[in-house]
Structure 1
Amino acid sequence: MLRNSLGNDEAELNALHESIDEGVGKLGEIEKELATAK
């Protein structure tokens, strides 16, 4: 997904940030599940 170019426009950067935020949110949920499973 990451393109090796400096020509990213604002929309592409915003979409990338949203994807990262979603991934971080999912990791947070997984961490909570692991913590409660102990």
Structure 2
Amino acid sequence: MMALTPGGVDQDLVRLGHRRIERPMIPFDAEIPAPAVADLRR
């Protein structure tokens, strides 16, 4: 059992609320579309 509770070692990274980070921050930004197959074959 894992309990995601606020504290010194919080595993819920979205809840931490960092604001001054470069966007997009993958995988935390939900509005980022999935990459196309052509992009994966480079």
TM-score w.r.t. length of structure 1? 0.24
Higher relative contact order (CA 8 A, sep 6+): 2
TM-score w.r.t. length of structure 2? 0.24
